[in-house]
Amino acid sequence: MAIITISRGSYSKGREVAEKVAQRMGYQVLSRDVLLEASEQFHIPEVKLVRAIHDAPSVLERFTHGKYCYLTFIRAALAERAVQDNLVYHGLAGHLLLKGVPHVLKVRIIADLEARVAAEMKRENLSQGQARALLLKDDAERRKWTQSLYGVDPWDASLYDLVIHVDQLTVDDAVDFIVQAAGKECFKSTPEAQQKIQDMALACRVKAALAEDDCVDLAVTSEFGNVLVYTKQDDRRAHRLEEKLKPLAKRLPEINHLEVHTGQPFPPEAC
């Protein structure tokens, strides 16, 4: 069984594709619900999480770490759902939030701007100019968001396994392709892949718990429950971090061992 992430722009029929894929494969479909779950789990108003996943961080937010914390919570909620497998996630940055998980099929759905403008005009009762301006602004915001947080352009095709242009190809054709690709051996969940996603979920949980405790700017990895926390802070502050981690280790039974590493570069696979 697989995890499928579908990246899409507004009005590009990505939601329709995701829902049909989930229906055909008997998978759960997840999008904004992940924000609701994060909102309930970490007691953050949903509107703040929506803003965190939509608007690019402002200069001030780069210092206050508000967006960092919200994204950590969203990623933790998504990782919890991914552990259950058989999932279709459509929304912003699924392929980046689940980075490092081997059995994720990363798909992007694109559509012609004119078709998107027409769809928005019809749905929102806007003029062509208004609809176009709104879509272009939304696209620019999404690109800026991904670039500022992950340093990549979401329109770069090399981030995905499959990019499908819904124009000549219909929604049903796109569904066919995705189902066909998801059936491939490399997207099936193996015990190793399952272990990896469990480790990622645990690392995300630890990071979210630390973010709740105002510990930011750190990276967390986990391997079979052995958790490593990386920080750029000096030894004195790292010691304080270790103190904060002790009750956490007791609260989360999945943790076998906890270590804090200072002065080391963050590993690329870290949460």
Partner 1 sequence: MPLIIVSSDNFKQGDEIGQKVAGVLGYRYVGRELLTWVASENQVSEEDLARALDDPPGLLARRARRQRMLGYIEAACLNVLLDDNVVCHGLAAHLYVRAVSHALKVRIINEPEQRAEELSQAEGISLDKARKQVLRQTKDERRWSEEAYSLDQTDASLYDLVISLGTLELDKAVEIISDTVSYRKFQPMTYSRKLMQDKALAAGVRLKLMEQFPDIRVEANDGTVVAYIQSLKKDQRKKQEMVRQIAGELPGVRHVEVHIIRDLVGQAAQSSR
Question: Is residue 46 within the footprint of partner 1 (CB under 8 A)?
Answer: no
- Least distance in Å: CB of 182 to partner 1? 11
181-220 footprint of partner 1 as x/- string (CB under 8 A):
x--x-xx---------------------------------
CB atoms under 10 Å from CB of 191, counted, come to: 7
- Candidates 162, 204, 229, 260; binder of partner 1 (CB under 8 A) is 162
- Least distance in Å: CB of 3 to partner 1? 13
What is the enclosing helix (H) or strand (E) of 223?
strand 218-223
C-beta closer to partner 1: residue 89 or 187: 187
User: How many angstroms separate the CA atoms of 65 and 215, rounded?
Assistant: 10
Q: What's the half-sphere exposure (Cβ side, CA atoms, 13 Å) at 33? A: 10
- Least distance in Å: CB of 229 to partner 1? 26
Question: Is residue 160 within the footprint of partner 1 (CB under 8 A)?
Answer: yes
- Candidates 157, 213, 239, 256; binder of partner 1 (CB under 8 A) is 157
Question: Is residue 153 within the footprint of partner 1 (CB under 8 A)?
Answer: no
* SS3 per residue for 89-120: EECCCHHHHCCCCCCEEEEEEECCHHHHHHHH
CB atoms under 10 Å from CB of 267, counted, come to: 14
| 77-111 as b/e: b if 16+ CB within 10 A | bbbbbbeebebbbbbbbbbbbbbbbebbbbbbbbb
Are 92 and 54 spatial neighbours (Cβ–Cβ below 8 Å)? yes
Stretch that binds partner 1, among 57-65, 68-76, 174-182, 219-227 (CB under 8 A): 174-182
- Least distance in Å: CB of 186 to partner 1? 5
C-beta closer to partner 1: residue 47 or 136: 136
CA angle 163, 149, 46 (to 5 degrees): 90
Count the residues in the chain. Answer: 271
Q: Binding residues for partner 1, how many (CB under 8 A)?
A: 25
Question: Is residue 125 within the footprint of partner 1 (CB under 8 A)?
Answer: no
- Candidates 28, 56, 139, 177; binder of partner 1 (CB under 8 A) is 177
- Least distance in Å: CB of 199 to partner 1? 20
What is the enclosing helix (H) or strand (E) of 208?
helix 191-212
Question: Is residue 158 within the footprint of partner 1 (CB under 8 A)?
Answer: yes
What is the enclosing helix (H) or strand (E) of 38?
helix 33-42
- Contact residues for partner 1, defined by CB under 8 A: 105, 108, 110, 112, 155, 157-158, 160-165, 167-170, 173, 176-177, 180-181, 184, 186-187
